[in-house]
Structure 1
Amino acid sequence: MSKIFDVPLYAYEHSPDQDEGMPARHPVVIIGAGPVGLATAIDLAQQGIKTVILDDNDRVSFGSRAICFAKRPLEILDRLGCGEAMVKRGVQWDTGKVFFDTRQVYEFSLTEEEGHKNPAFINLQQYTFEQVLVERIREMQAEGAPIEIRGRNKVEAIGQHDTHVTLEVETPEGSYTIEAEWLVACDGANSPTRRMLGLDFDGQVFEDNFLIADVVMKADFPSERWFWFDPPFNRGQSALLHKQPDNVWRIDLQLGRDIDKEREKRPENVVPRLKAMLGDDAEFDLEWVSIYTFQCCRMERFRHGRTLFAGDSAHQVSPFGARGANSGLQDADNIAWKLKLVLEGNAPDTLMDSYNIERVYGAEENILNSTRSTEFITPKSEMSRILRDAVLDLSAHHAFAQPLVNSGRLSVPCTYDGSMLNSADALAAPDLTRPGSPCPDAPLGDDHLLNKLGNSFVLLTIDADAPDSFEEDGVTATRLALSARDDPSLTLKRQYLGDATSGIYLIRPDQHVAARRESFDEPHFRAALRRATGKE
C-alpha cells in the first residue's frame, strides 16, 4: 500500500515560465492538487480554458482522508469523464444501521429509483480518487487539452490586482513569478492562500476528539454504514464502521474532550481499542491513524477580487454525513462554466459573485446539518444526552422517532433556493426540478439524461415545440428534444412533468435548472439566460 504514497504522480519538471523575463500570464491558476483542485482544472480544460495547477507536493494525499462520495458528485465526475472509473474502483453501498448499546434500533436504505446511472454512495480512499483524476488529466494532455499540473511548486506570496493575481512560486530550482487572470484556491483546511490574503474562518469548533483509523483486515461485515451510540467497547461515546476497497475498513471512535492526542494515536493504545470493538482474535494492520477535532465553519465570502476559494479552503464541516469532499466537488461544478463565460467575454466578471452566493448557501446548508448531527452524536449536557437516548430507545419500536435519529445526515445535492435562478415558475411539475435544483437523472433507452445534457446550456423540451437553439448576448442554448415515451419507466415524466402534459427546461452547464415553462415562452427564456449569465 505504501507504494502509492511513495511514487510521484506529477514529479517536478522545469517549466518555460521559469525562464521568462516577464511573468507569464495564464487564464486560470489553481493552487492545490486535491480532489477539488483537480476536478476544477479538468472541467475548465474540457471547455478549452488553459489551466495550471500548482501543488507543493507531487503525489497523492497521505492517508485515506475523505472516503464517501454521493451520487451527485459521481454525476459531476461523469461529466468530467471519470465517474465510471470511480464507481468501478469503489465499494457501493445503500444501507445504514444504527445501534444503541448492543441493540440495532434503526435501519435505513438509500436505494434510488430505477434508471439512475450512479449508485447512492461509494466508498473510495482519497488517494485512489486523486489517482483517477490525475489519470484523467494525463488522458486529456495526450489529446492536447490545455491543462498542466506542476508538482513541488509552492506558492510563497500572492498579490491581488484589479485585472489579475501575481504569484511567487518556489521550486527545487529556485523561485519564479507567474500571473493569473483568475486564481482558484483549493489548498485545504489550513489554506496558505487564505493566510497570505489575511482572511479567516467564522464558525464553531467542537471540543470532542475522534480517533480515525483505517485498518487492513479480512472481515465478513457487509458493505453498509454501521454507527453505534454508547457501545460496550466505547462506553459513553460513539463509533462508526465503513468498508473501503482492498480490504481496508474505516473506524471512527469518539474519545472525548480532555485527551492526550499524541498518546492516543500510538499503536499500543489504538490496537487495544480496536480489538475491544472487533474481538481479541481479529487480525488487522494499521494503515492510517489520526486524531481529529471537528469544526463547522466557513469564510464570510468565497470570492475576494480575482481569487476564488473552494473546498476545505472555503468551508469545513464535521465528517458525519460525508459533506466535505462532496460539497467541494459541487464548488468545482459551479466555478468552471462561469469562469469560461467571463474569460471569453460572454459574461461580466460579476457572474463570479453568483458563485459566492450559491456556494455560501450550500455551505450554510451543510454546516447546519453537520452541526445538528454533531450535537446529537456528542450531547453537551446531561439533559441533552437523556433526550438523545430516549429518541434512540423509541426508534427501535416506533417509526415516528426514526427520522429524529441523527448519526450524520447524509450529503444531498444542493438546490440554490433564493439565488438568481428562482424566477417565476409556471410549470405544475414536481418540486424536485424547480429552478435552482440539479437535474435528476432518467433512463433514455441505452443512455441517460445527464449524459445527453453535457456541459453547455441546454433547452430541454419534453413533448413540446421550440427552436433548435437560441442565442442571447453571445451565449447559445441548444435544444434537446425528448418525449415522455422515450422512458418506459416513466421516471422522466414523474420528475420533469408531473401532471403536466409538456414541459420546457433551460438547464445550465452545471446541469442545474435555470427556468421552466409548459411551452416555449421566448421572452421568458431569453431573460432567464441573461440572469443565468449575470447580465440581469
Structure 2
Amino acid sequence: MENFAFAPAYELPVWPFTPPPELNSTAVVRHPVVIVGAGPSGLTLACDLAQRGVRAVLLDEDDTVGVRGASSRGICYAQKSLEIFERLGIYERIAAKGVTWSFGRTFSGDEEVYNFNLQATSVSTQPPFINLQQFYIEWFLVDRILELGVTDLRWKSRVTHVEPLADGVRIDVETPAGSYTIEADHLIDATGANSPIRTQLGVASHASRSTDRWCISDVRFEKPLPTERWTWVDAPFNEGRGVWQHLMADGVWRIDYQMPEDCDPAEISRPEVAGARLREQLGPDVAFEFVWIGPYGYRDHLLERFRHGRVCFIGDAAHVVSPFGARGGNTGIQDAANLGWKLALVAQGQAGDALLDSYDAERRPAAQENLTVTSRSARFLAPRSPAEHTLRRAVVALAKRHTFARALVNTGRMSVANDYPVAPLLPEGARTVQNLPLHWADGRQTTLMQLLAEGTQCLGLWFAPTRAQAQAACDATAALPLRLLAVGGDSGLPTLQADETLARHLGIDPSVGGFVLVRPDAYRAALLAQATPDTIAAAVRTALALPASSP
C-alpha cells in the first residue's frame, strides 16, 4: 500500500496564562465589555474596541489560535472584511501572506458552464477576495490587539456560568489558578456554533442539520495549479458530485469533495482514499503532500434575537449558514464591525442605548439573507427530490448553450456586504460604502477606511458647501460625534478633491451636490439632496439613537 507524505505540522503561537487581579480580590470588579471567545468575530470585536480606546476583557478557553493540528476552517475573506481589517491595521499582513483572487470558473463534467470576475464592479482599494487560513487571521488580530495595549486578553479562562442582571451580567470564570467572578456592563458571546452561554440562558437556536457530507483535502503540489476558484457541479472524477478547489497561503490547496450521504467519515478521510481521489482528479503521476484531511457535515441555525438585554450574540453563536460562498466567517466579522462602534459610543455616553437594538435590527436580516442564499446553493448542489434533480439538469444544460442561464448555476453565491432594511434608526435603509481611494485638496492620498480609523464618529461628506453653510453646520453639530468634510469647493472645512467616482458611488449627482452621512462601519445612513445645518444634525441624531434635539 502506498505511503502518503504529510507536511510538517504548523507551529502555532502560544500565549501565557496570567493570573488576573480578581483572583486575589473579594470585590467583584465591573468591566465595560466582556467578550467570550477568541475566534474571528470575538477577536475582530476586541480589536475594533481597542482601536476606539474602549477597554474590554476577552476570555478564551485555549492559549493559541485556530484548531490544534491546524485543521482547515474558514479560508475566503471578502472585500468588506478586508476593508474592516484595513481600518484595524492588519490588512497589509493579510495581503502579503494570503492569495488574492477575483476570477472563478464553474464546470459541469469537463465543460466550463460559467465564469465570473468580481473585480469588474469594485471601486475599493481592497480586492474582492483573499484566501488565507483562518488561524493566520486570528494570529494577526491577536498581535494587533497586543500592540494596541487596551484589551485584557485572558487565556485559559473558561466561563462556567453567566447571570443576567438588571444593569449588566455576572460571569463566573475558571482558570488553572482558580476561579473568580466578574461583572460586565455588556457581555458578548462569540463562543461559536455550540455556545455554552446560549445553552445556559435557554436561547433557542432553531438548528437544522444537513445530510450533505464533504471531505476536505489540504494539499501542497509540486506543480502549481491556476490561482482561480474552480468548482464542479458534477465532477466526473468524483462520481458526479461537487468539488471545490482553492489556493491558500503557503502553497496549500484546499479541495472539498462532496461525498455520499451514507459515507463513513473515517473511511473517506483515510490518506489512501483521499489520495486516490486526488489521482483520479489530477492524474496518476501528480506529486503532492497532504497538509490535513478531514470530513465535515454542517448545520444551520438562526437566533430569534441577537440581543438579550445586556448579552449580545455574534458570529456562529448567533447564526450558522451552509459553507457555500464564504458567508459564514465573513458574516461574523461584519457582526463585530457593526456592534463595535455602537458599544463604543454607548460606553462613552455619545449615543443612546437603543443604538444597541439596531445591531439586531440590522445583522439579523443580514444573517437571514445569507441563510436563504446558502440554503439555495445547498439544494442545487445536493438535490433532495426528483423535481430538484430535473431543475439542476435543465439549468446546467441551458448554461452550456445560453448566456442568460449561466448565472443560474448555483455553486455558492459569493459573500457580499449586506445592505440593511429600513428601520427606526435608518429611515432610508443603509448600503455599504466601499473603501475608495481619495485625495485631499493638497494631493495627499487617503482612503475612506483611513478616515474612519481616526476616532469613533460619523463622516459627513458634503459636496461643495459654502463657507456660511459649513460654519453653521459645525455650530449645529459641535456636540455630536461627526467629522464634517467637504468634497470640492472652498468652505473652510477639511476638503477632499472632487471625485465623480465617489459621487456616483454615494448616490450623489455631482452637478447638483448634496450631503452623505457615513456611519463608523462604512454604511451610508442618510442622503440629503438639500442639506441644512438642522437636517444634518437631525440625521446624525437619528443614526445614533439620540434625542431629536439637544437636552
Q: Does 1:495 align with 2:495?
A: no
- Quote the offset at 1:284 in angstroms: 2.2
Cα distance in 2, alignment partners of residues 526 and 380 from structure 1: 54
1:452 corresponds to which letter in structure 2?
L
Q: Once the two structures are superposed, what CA deviation does each residue of 1:115-141 show, in whole Å capped at 9, x if it has no partner? A: 521011000000111111111112112
Partner of 2:451: 452
- Structure 1 pair 366–113 and aligned structure 2 pair: CA distance change class (3 A): closer
Q: Which runs of 5+ in 2 are unaligned?
A: 1-6, 440-444, 490-494
Asked if structure 2 preserves the Cα contact closer than 8 Å seen for 1:321 and 1:370, the reply is yes
Range moving further from structure 2, 309-318 or 470-479:
470-479
Range moving further from structure 2, 367-376 or 477-486:
477-486
- Quote the offset at 1:362 in angstroms: 0.7
2:160 corresponds to which letter in structure 1?
E
Q: Does 1:438 align with 2:436?
A: no
Partner of 1:432: none
Partner of 1:235: 239
Asked if structure 2 preserves the Cα contact closer than 8 Å seen for 1:296 and 1:370, the reply is no
Asked if structure 2 preserves the Cα contact closer than 8 Å seen for 1:421 and 1:528, the reply is no
1:16 corresponds to which letter in structure 2?
P
Partner of 2:215: 211
Q: Does 1:38 align with 2:43?
A: yes
Q: Which runs of 5+ in 1 are unaligned?
A: 425-434
Q: Once the two structures are superposed, what CA deviation does each residue of 1:213-250 show, in whole Å capped at 9, x if it has no partner? A: 21222332111110002111112310000001111111
2:470 corresponds to which letter in structure 1?
P
Partner of 1:511: 522
Cα distance in 2, alignment partners of residues 253 and 473 from structure 1: 58
Partner of 2:481: 476
- Structure 1 pair 3–467 and aligned structure 2 pair: CA distance change class (3 A): farther
1:118 corresponds to which letter in structure 2?
Q
Q: Once the two structures are superposed, what CA deviation does each residue of 1:257-312 show, in whole Å capped at 9, x if it has no partner? A: 11222332232322222222232222222222222222232111111111110001
Asked if structure 2 preserves the Cα contact closer than 8 Å seen for 1:470 and 1:476, the reply is no
Of all paired residues, the percent bearing the same amino acid is: 39
Partner of 1:176: 180
Cα distance in 1, alignment partners of residues 203 and 464 from structure 2: 51
Q: Does 1:261 align with 2:268?
A: no
Asked if structure 2 preserves the Cα contact closer than 8 Å seen for 1:5 and 1:59, the reply is no
Asked if structure 2 preserves the Cα contact closer than 8 Å seen for 1:34 and 1:130, the reply is yes
Range moving further from structure 2, 366-375 or 519-528:
519-528
Q: Does 1:523 align with 2:534?
A: yes
- Structure 1 pair 154–470 and aligned structure 2 pair: CA distance change class (3 A): farther
Could you tell me which of 84, 104, 117 is aligned with 1:109? 117
Asked if structure 1 preserves the Cα contact closer than 8 Å seen for 2:426 and 2:542, the reply is no
**Superposition map of 1:270-419 within 5 A:** 270-419=274-423
| TM-score normalised by L of structure 2 | 0.90
What is the DSSP-based 3-state SS (H/G/I as helix, E as strand, rest coil) of the residue aligned with 2:238? coil
Asked if structure 2 preserves the Cα contact closer than 8 Å seen for 1:44 and 1:50, the reply is yes
**Superposition map of 1:146-161 within 5 A:** 146-161=150-165
What is the DSSP-based 3-state SS (H/G/I as helix, E as strand, rest coil) of the residue aligned with 1:38? helix
- Structure 1 pair 228–487 and aligned structure 2 pair: CA distance change class (3 A): farther
Asked if structure 1 preserves the Cα contact closer than 8 Å seen for 2:37 and 2:192, the reply is yes
Cα distance in 2, alignment partners of residues 71 and 462 from structure 1: 27
- Quote the offset at 1:381 in angstroms: 1.4
Could you tell me which of 7, 24, 27 is aligned with 2:29? 24
Range moving further from structure 2, 355-364 or 506-515:
506-515
Q: Does 1:79 align with 2:84?
A: no
- Structure 1 pair 267–114 and aligned structure 2 pair: CA distance change class (3 A): closer
- Structure 1 pair 219–501 and aligned structure 2 pair: CA distance change class (3 A): farther
Partner of 2:424: 420
- Quote the offset at 1:6 in angstroms: 4.7
- Quote the offset at 1:361 in angstroms: 0.9
Partner of 1:430: none
Asked if structure 1 preserves the Cα contact closer than 8 Å seen for 2:59 and 2:153, the reply is yes
1:28 corresponds to which letter in structure 2?
V
Cα distance in 2, alignment partners of residues 34 and 50 from structure 1: 19
- Structure 1 pair 6–47 and aligned structure 2 pair: CA distance change class (3 A): closer
- Structure 1 pair 421–166 and aligned structure 2 pair: CA distance change class (3 A): closer
Asked if structure 1 preserves the Cα contact closer than 8 Å seen for 2:486 and 2:496, the reply is no
1:33 corresponds to which letter in structure 2?
A
- Quote the offset at 1:489 in angstroms: 7.0
Cα distance in 1, alignment partners of residues 204 and 222 from structure 2: 43
2:526 corresponds to which letter in structure 1?
A
Cα distance in 2, alignment partners of residues 483 and 392 from structure 1: 50
1:289 corresponds to which letter in structure 2?
I
1:80 corresponds to which letter in structure 2?
L
Range moving further from structure 2, 493-502 or 213-222:
493-502
- Quote the offset at 1:174 in angstroms: 1.4
- Structure 1 pair 4–169 and aligned structure 2 pair: CA distance change class (3 A): farther
Cα distance in 2, alignment partners of residues 490 and 525 from structure 1: 22
1:364 corresponds to which letter in structure 2?
Q
Partner of 1:123: 131
Partner of 1:167: 171
| TM-score normalised by L of structure 1 | 0.92
Range moving further from structure 2, 493-502 or 372-381:
493-502
1:123 corresponds to which letter in structure 2?
N
Cα distance in 2, alignment partners of residues 396 and 58 from structure 1: 51
Cα distance in 2, alignment partners of residues 219 and 198 from structure 1: 52
Asked if structure 2 preserves the Cα contact closer than 8 Å seen for 1:31 and 1:184, the reply is yes
Cα distance in 1, alignment partners of residues 275 and 62 from structure 2: 31
Asked if structure 2 preserves the Cα contact closer than 8 Å seen for 1:346 and 1:473, the reply is no
What is the DSSP-based 3-state SS (H/G/I as helix, E as strand, rest coil) of the residue aligned with 1:202? coil
Asked if structure 2 preserves the Cα contact closer than 8 Å seen for 1:443 and 1:487, the reply is no
Cα distance in 2, alignment partners of residues 343 and 6 from structure 1: 35
Cα distance in 2, alignment partners of residues 44 and 441 from structure 1: 20
Partner of 1:431: none
